[in-house]
Amino acid sequence: MPSPTIPDRTFGALLGTAVGDALGVPYEFARRLGPAEIPEMVGGGLGSYQPGEWSDDTTMAVAIAQAVADGHDLTSDAGLDAVARGFLRWYTDFDGIPPDIGNQTRAVLAATSRRLDADPDASVGTVMREEALVYAAENRRSAGNGALMRTAPVAVAHLDSRDVLADAARAVAGLTHADALAGDSCVVWCEAIRVAITDERLDVRAGLDLLPAARRDQWSAWLDDAATQDPGCFSANGFTVTALQAATAAVLQTPIGDDPSAHLEQALYAAIRIGHDADTIAAIAGGLLGARWGARAIADEYRDAVHGWPFVDGRATDADDLRRMVDAVR
């Protein structure tokens, strides 16, 4: 029989993403915090965000969550169209310059928007996937972390089938990040979130068998490094592999102890202290931490503060809205 705490952990995955993101916003590409400095949810950052406001990391996750809440299958063309439309809605809501959007994501969404202007009846998801492939072919470094940051809702939508989850993770990643390593990282992290929710354990290696055999040993070595090396060595984390290693190091190398809330909070602090793309690393880590410990382990002050795009009738989406999306998915 399913655990009665699964709903709380399911909500925790999306809420943890948002909390990690908003907590990391002030420190993105800023001075690295020292070991005694406590991150605060004060806003600012690259988007002049309000205190508690999430950035592009959660925004894109919300677009996915909304598509699933509306009944779409993420492995179908219709489902990918719905996600792609959500991404483009965000892009156009800010006139093509959303705050803190990644360079690769901006390039793919801009190219998609131009093609749809010329052919409004085209499949949005198909066009976006094609433009992601073009970007990957023209740019040697196209395995950015911009797909990995938005994995939580993909995992939440596929708790019953790890194989379908792997397909969905790679498909959703491919809307903007067509590089194989970007897809791999999303498969690994989605499966880790699924296992945290359903089995109540932290196991970042659980999805290795879902990767192509030729790349499993390399990923295993990367995860070994993340579990044993100083988290600070993963500060060049715009690359999806290093981003996953940074989040893994923060989660696994933070002592758990007897208090899940303390582990979740201290691991988020550790993620932010790694530096560089601090909000993204904390969002990635937050998705897994929330999946393991549940929304109940997240401090009320964080839950009450988080908010962000989409803004409807002057009101921002907040934690209660995230809960409603997750409830609709289940």
Q: Which amino acid is residue 285, in one-letter code?
A: A
Q: 231 lies in a domain?
A: yes
The confidence score (pLDDT) of residue 3 equals 77
Q: 18 lies in a domain?
A: yes
The confidence score (pLDDT) of residue 2 equals 62
The confidence score (pLDDT) of residue 313 equals 84
The confidence score (pLDDT) of residue 5 equals 87
Q: 1 lies in a domain?
A: no
Q: For position 256, which CATH number holds? A: 1.10.4080.10
Residue in the block written with tokens 């999805």 = 207
Do residues 178 and 133 make contact, with C-beta atoms less than 8 angstroms apart? yes
At residue 35, the 3 state secondary structure works out as: coil
How many domains does the chain contain in total? 1
The confidence score (pLDDT) of residue 329 equals 82
Do residues 267 and 289 make contact, with C-beta atoms less than 8 angstroms apart? yes
Q: 132 lies in a domain?
A: yes
Q: 20 lies in a domain?
A: yes
Segments of the chain scoring below 70 in pLDDT: 1-2, 330
Q: Which amino acid is residue 272, in one-letter code?
A: I
Q: 251 lies in a domain?
A: yes
The confidence score (pLDDT) of residue 330 equals 64
Tell me the CA distances in angstroms from 31 to 26, 272, 273, 278, one per residue in order.
Answer: 10, 11, 9, 10
Q: Which domain holds residue 122?
A: 6-329
pLDDT (tens digit per residue) in 279-306: 999 999 999 999 999 999 999 999 999 9
Q: 302 lies in a domain?
A: yes
The confidence score (pLDDT) of residue 231 equals 97
The confidence score (pLDDT) of residue 309 equals 96
- Give the separation between CA 71 and CA 67, rounded to whole angstroms: 7
At residue 97, the 3 state secondary structure works out as: coil
